[in-house]
Amino acid sequence: MTEMVYGSMPARVSEPVLPRWWRTIDKWSMTAVLALFGIGILLGLAASVPLATRNGLEPFYYVQRQAFFGGLAMLAMLGCSMLSPAMVRRLGVAGFLVAFLALAALPVFGTDFGKGAVRWFSLGFASVQPSEFLKPGFIILTAWLMAASQEVNGPPGRSLSFAIAIVITGFLALQPDFGQAMLVLFGWGVVYFVGGAPFALIAVVLALVGGAGFVAYNGSEHFARRIDGFLSPDLDPRTQLGYATNAIQEGGFFGVGVGEGQVKWSLPDAHTDFIIAVAAEEYGLILVLCIIGLYATVVVRSLLRLTHERDPFIRLSGAGLACIFGVQAMINMGVAVRLLPAKGMTLPFVSYGGSSVIAAGITVGMLLAMTRTRPQGQMSDILFQRGR
């Protein structure tokens, strides 16, 4: 339909798949992701050894698992990046349905692993967190519905996608997992905004989110405790935030040296939620800025490439995927430096976690598929076709 409206240049059909993929892929973004994964393995060598020692495991047990799951993530990323937008849409919608059913089943079959939030399915040899896989599928579904709503006699895609977002948010709040719930609403808001939402309506949605936060604060002890801890002017040095803050301060510009950091011996989540504190302590601000630059490379380059895209579905889904990827990284690092309340959210490709790294691979793979270079046709050709 899009090609009938906008026109397109004839594609080189005879060109083999791999050369065409390599020619059209955003190599800078793909290199940045590979660098992030390499940094994650490097930091895991330092951060996970104390935990493995405390649990009576081999010193590099968690690093080996991260390398295995990371390898699967890289394969998923490369595989998804080779798909056409139509195949990404089918994969995203199917994946969303499976992840949504899994999310709905968590209250009955899920476990909290002693962390107070039922977010995982325990498989014995591994665990699965459905919300990680739900996010990219939800963005694809939302973009599809909103793009379809722009067609003549199209479905009410905005209303349908908002209703789905509210239902998902409700399931996540029951766990409770307010961090992922806010990320889902943020992703919906990005797709809605890029799709042409009026500012007045966005303000109404923000007001509703604020009201929901007020209700959650008064109705959830877990949520209220985290907000109170964030707002408190005093920071207990024996808490995770206290250890992380001290480690970042100790690291300075150049760090205390490889393997010389102490925070990994005190933080139980040094290899997951607070791995940026390990990076800051041992390698200093220099490495932290490099990590931020790599995330910015993926997000900014993706958004810039999408500005040349005329297909509404590709533009909406690509913007949503890029923004939730970047914002998740921003939230993780913001928590570590106490700019945001604790969320329990991993740093994509850097933190330890099978579900997290594989879901991140799928997300970036879909994003790379959407930002591949495609023949768009000349604007003069489009105007000529519309004038006929």
Predicted pLDDT at 151:
82
Predicted pLDDT at 256:
84
Is the previous residue joined to 136 through a cis bond, with omega within 30 degrees of 0?
no
Helix/strand/coil (H/E/C) assignment for every residue in the chain: CHHHHHCCCCCCCCCCHHHHHHHHCCHHHHHHHHHHHHHHHHHHHHHCHHHHHHCCCCCCHHHHHHHHHHHHHHHHHHHHHCCCHHHHHHHHHHHHHHHHHHHHHHHHHCECCCCCCCCEEECCCCEECHHHHHHHHHHHHHHHHHHHHCCCCCCCHHHHHHHHHHHHHHHHHHCCCHHHHHHHHHHHHHHHHHCCCCHHHHHHHHHHHHHHHHHHHHHCHHHHHHHHHHHCCCCCCCCHHHHHHHHHHHHCCCCCCCCCCCHHHCCCCCCCCCHHHHHHHHHHHHHHHHHHHHHHHHHHHHHHHHCCCCCHHHHHHHHHHHHHHHHHHHHHHHHHCCCCCCCCCCCCCCCCCHHHHHHHHHHHHHHHHHCCCCCCCCHHHHHHHHHC
Predicted confidence band of residue 8 (pLDDT cuts 50, 70, 90): very low
Predicted confidence band of residue 102 (pLDDT cuts 50, 70, 90): very high
Contact 41, 258 (CB under 8 A): no
Q: What is the C-alpha end-to-end distance of the chain, expressed in Å?
A: 17
Contact 128, 121 (CB under 8 A): yes
Predicted confidence band of residue 375 (pLDDT cuts 50, 70, 90): confident
Q: pLDDT tens-digit profile of 33-82?
A: 999 999 999 998 888 888 888 888 888 888 999 999 999 999 999 999 99
Phi, psi of 122 (to 5 degrees): -90, 120
Predicted pLDDT at 221:
67
Label residue 217 exposed, middle or buried (CB < 10 Å: 0-12, 13-18, 19+): middle
Q: How far is CA 209 from CA 179, 182, 343, in A?
A: 13, 9, 16
**What residues contact residue 164 under an 8 Å CB cut-off, 6+ apart?**
138, 141, 142
* CA–CA separation, 248 and 235 (whole Å): 14
Q: pLDDT tens-digit profile of 215-258?
A: 766 766 666 666 666 666 666 566 777 777 788 888 888 888 87
pLDDT at residue 379 is higher than 50: no
Predicted confidence band of residue 9 (pLDDT cuts 50, 70, 90): very low
Contact 301, 366 (CB under 8 A): no
Q: pLDDT tens-digit profile of 342-372?
A: 777 889 999 988 889 999 999 999 999 999 9
The three-point CA angle 125-128-129 to 5° equals 155
The three-point CA angle 357-372-362 to 5° equals 15
pLDDT at residue 388 is higher than 80: no
| Average pLDDT score over residue span 95-121 | 87
Q: How far is CA 204 from CA 174, 180, 182, 199, 298, in A?
A: 24, 21, 16, 9, 31
pTM of the model: 0.87
pLDDT at residue 387 is higher than 70: no
Highest mean pLDDT among 167-181, 191-205, 219-233, 297-311: 297-311
pLDDT at residue 324 is higher than 90: yes
Predicted pLDDT at 231:
62
Predicted pLDDT at 236:
58
The length of the chain is: 388
pLDDT at residue 173 is higher than 90: no
**Sign of torsion, CA 54 60 63 67?**
negative
Label residue 21 exposed, middle or buried (CB < 10 Å: 0-12, 13-18, 19+): middle
| Average pLDDT score over residue span 156-171 | 90
pLDDT at residue 1 is higher than 50: no
| Average pLDDT score over residue span 159-168 | 92
Predicted confidence band of residue 118 (pLDDT cuts 50, 70, 90): confident
Q: How far is CA 221 from CA 116, 157, 216, in A?
A: 11, 36, 9
Q: Which residues is 120 bridged to in the sheet?
A: 111
